[in-house]
Each structure stands twice: as structure tokens, then as C-alpha cells.
Amino acid sequence: MTLLELITREAARLKKAGVSFGHGTANAFDEAAWLVLWSLGMDLDSLEDHAKQEMSAEAEAKAGELITRRIESRLPAAYITREAWLQNVPFYVDERVIVPRSFIAELLVDGEGQGTLDAWLSDRTQRVLDLCTGNGSLAVIAALAFPEITVDACDISEDALAVARLNVERHKLGKRITLSQSDLLDSVSGTYDLIVCNPPYVNSRSMAKLPAEYQHEPVLALAGGDDGMDLVRRIVSEAAARLTDIGVLVLEIGNERPHFESAFRRLEVAWLETSAGDNAVLLVTREALVRWARKPEYRA
């Protein structure tokens, strides 16, 4: 059996078992390729070069066992391999953080995503805040994409911050990224030109129906209350005070656009296009936040 045949066989097992994707891959073949290559100690991008390589019985068994573990445990692959990739940047992950997959990453990486933040940033953009940093992926990607900036990154979870620390060290960004614990903006001081935030925003009904894979992730990182907007409400009311005059907040809200729009009627936002479409990430300027805050009748 060749490597390609082995991956195809294992992909069929994943499909038959009904595992759920969305933690770095979107289909059974890509997930099987990731796990099979990893189990054999091969580079994850080496499939093309080795597709026709004959596999030993031992290699077949090893790969098969890992796929069995994936099926039986329903652990996202990244928790098994302890590594996830976002915009081609590797991150350490474990169950203390969600597997990074924020669409904001696409917007930070110049030219890679379908959208870009360039139009909203200026030469004066220097201080960036990654609010709800989790494993630190957005902070790291922002620092790599914009070499002149410094990034503060905070999270309420000490566990998440411990993982973020590993990633900041891994990418040698300790001089440009400062991690700290904060309940949203409560312990954040100073102002920022850009705040990026992928907060917990899953509404209660969706939380109750999450596939098993997502149930391995910290509830604290996902659950956003009844309409998913519990934390977003606080962020929207408090962000203006932490933004400079040219500052913008870039906020991910996933599938919750209807809930967002009914919670923040007449707040002027720009919906940014990502691979998830143009409903998942929005941008709001400090000016718009201030205007909105002055008009209590705009609030739901």
C-alpha cells in the first residue's frame, strides 16, 4: 500500500465514523493526511513527494492506531499532535486553549486573505492589543505581519496565558509582545491603534449542540451567554476608552451577526470579507463607538 492509499483508507474510516472537522482541516482527506504524516514523523507538506512510497506493515499499523484514537476520543487532531497552524505559522496547543482558527488572522496577513486591514491602518499604527488572546496566535501573527508594532495580549485565563507564553517564546517575540491577565479591558491601561478580539461568542443554543470535538475545548473560550453577546456587550461599551483617535476594533463574532445586529442597532460597523464570508468579522472605529455611546436610544 502506498502512502496515498493509506491516507485514502484512513480518510474513509474518519468519514464513516462521522468525526467532525473545523479545527485546522475541513474534510476527512486533509485530516487523515495530517494525522498519518504526523504519526510517521514525516513533514506535513511532504505528501506530494512521497505519495507513491510503499508503506511498511508497521507504518500502516501505526497510522491506523492514531486514527482509531482520533475516532474514539473525538479529540481535535491538534490536541493529539500538540500543534496547530494558522496562516502557515505553527502554534503549540493543548486543551487549555481552543485550537486557533480565527478569521482575523487572514486580515492581518498582508495580501494573503481576501480582505486586508491595510485600508484601516496608518503609518501611525504602533500599539496593538490582542484581547482574549488564548494561545497568543493573533498577537504573534500581528507582530510577524507588522514588524514596527508592539502588541499587548491579555486573557482572563492563566492557563491560556501559559500556552500563549510558549508561543511567544517559540517565535522569539518576547520583546514585542507583552502578556497579561485581565478580565476583558478591566486591567488594561493606555490606548491602542488597533484592538483585535476573537471573544467567546457562541450562543447557548449552539453551545448545547456542539459536536464532541468542540466539547474538548474550554467552555470559557466559547460560551457567550444566551445570545452569544455577553462579552461583546462589554467590549463594545468599553473599547472606545482604550482606542487612540485613529483606533479601530476588529471583532470576530462567527455566526452571530443577527444577534450582534439586534444587540447593537445602528452601530456603524464595516463587515470585513474573509474566507468565512462577510458576516463573521467586523470593524468599528473609535469615532463610531463614541457616536453610538452618546445615543442611548440606539441601544437595544
Ligand X SMILES: C[S@@+](CC[C@H](N)C(=O)[O-])C[C@H]1O[C@@H](n2cnc3c(N)ncnc32)[C@H](O)[C@@H]1O
Interacting residues with ligand X (CB under 6 A): 97-98, 100, 102, 132-135, 137-138, 155-157, 160, 183-184, 198-200, 220-221, 231
Instruction: Supply φ then ψ for residue 222, to 5 degrees.
Output: -115, -45
Complex with ligand X: residue 11 or 139, whichever CB lies closer: 139
Complex with ligand X: residue 157 or 279, whichever CB lies closer: 157
CB of 195 to ligand X, least distance (A): 12
Complex with ligand X: residue 12 or 241, whichever CB lies closer: 241
Complex with ligand X: residue 250 or 288, whichever CB lies closer: 250
CB of 4 to ligand X, least distance (A): 32
Q: What's the CA gap between 203 and 213, in Å, rounded?
A: 17
Complex with ligand X: residue 156 or 293, whichever CB lies closer: 156
CB of 57 to ligand X, least distance (A): 39
CB of 95 to ligand X, least distance (A): 12
282 neighbors 269 (Cβ within 8 angstroms): yes
CB of 76 to ligand X, least distance (A): 13
Cell representation of residue 87: 496562516
Other CB atoms within 10 Å distance of the CB of residue 152: 21
Q: What's the CA gap between 94 and 289, in Å, rounded?
A: 36
Cell representation of residue 69: 484514537
281 alpha carbon, distance to own chain's centre: 12
CB of 17 to ligand X, least distance (A): 26
The continuous run of DSSP H or E covering 263 comes out as helix 257-263
Residue nearest to ligand X (CB): 134
Complex with ligand X: residue 67 or 92, whichever CB lies closer: 92
Strand partners, 252: 281
Q: What's the CA gap between 293 and 290, in Å, rounded?
A: 5
Closest CA to 22 of 208, 165, 212, 161: 212
